[in-house]
Amino acid sequence: MASIRASTSTQRDSQSSSFTYESRDRVMLMKNLINETNNIENKTSNPMEMLEMTKEIVREANILFSNGSIEERVLHPAENFLDSQLLRASSDVIVRCSQAISSNVNKYDKFELADHIRRNEDFWEFSFPLEAPAVAFLYGTFAPTPLPPRAPRAG
């Protein structure tokens, strides 16, 4: 991960208690974060690790972006552009991760599944929720075998 370092500007550090970054520092760090985002797939092929790394990069970018004021962003539009480039790159990584997870879950061989159904018929005999049973015994007007007559009520 790119480490975020404060600028050595003594004027700004003495004016505020928290670290501040100059625009050139933010631009340089944002470029590093974009490069890291683009190289995530080279570091690991595990989608869950890629998601965690992307989450960490976006968290660092949010810290960088919140450090600058609106006036500085107006004066230096490159920061906004790099921020949007980082968001695009990170969303592309997230899309590729979700596609990798989805394709891993949904992979099956239809011939192997058909063979498994043929070999294990008992395993595949189940009813779906809210499904009508295959054999239903209806009593009433349309019943194939009517109920026997009731005994008269005592009374």
Q: Is 137 inside a domain boundary?
A: no
Question: Residues near 54 by Cβ (< 8 Å), separated by ≥ 6?
Answer: 37, 40, 90, 93, 94, 97
- Tell me which amino acid residue 31 is: K
Q: Is 48 inside a domain boundary?
A: yes
Q: Is 63 inside a domain boundary?
A: yes
Contact by Cβ (8 Å): 4, 57? no
Q: Is 93 inside a domain boundary?
A: yes
Q: Is 150 inside a domain boundary?
A: no
**Segment 47-81, tens digit of pLDDT:** 889 999 999 999 998 888 888 777 887 888 888 88
User: For residue 31, what are its two tokens?
Assistant: 């470029």
**101 — pLDDT class (breaks 50, 70, 90):** confident
pLDDT for the residue 70: 79
Of the two residues 21 and 31, the one the predictor is more confident about is 31
- For tokens 């295959």, name the residue: 134
Q: Is 83 inside a domain boundary?
A: yes
Residue 69 phi/psi, 5° resolution? -85, 170
Q: How far apart are CA 60 and CA 55, in angstroms?
A: 9
Q: Is 82 inside a domain boundary?
A: yes
The boundaries of the domain holding residue 28 are 10-105
Q: DSSP code of 132?
A: P
What is the tally of structural domains in the chain? 1
Of the two residues 12 and 35, the one the predictor is more confident about is 35
pTM here is: 0.53
Q: Is 155 inside a domain boundary?
A: no
**Rounded to an integer, what is the distance from CA 130 to the centroid of its chain?**
31
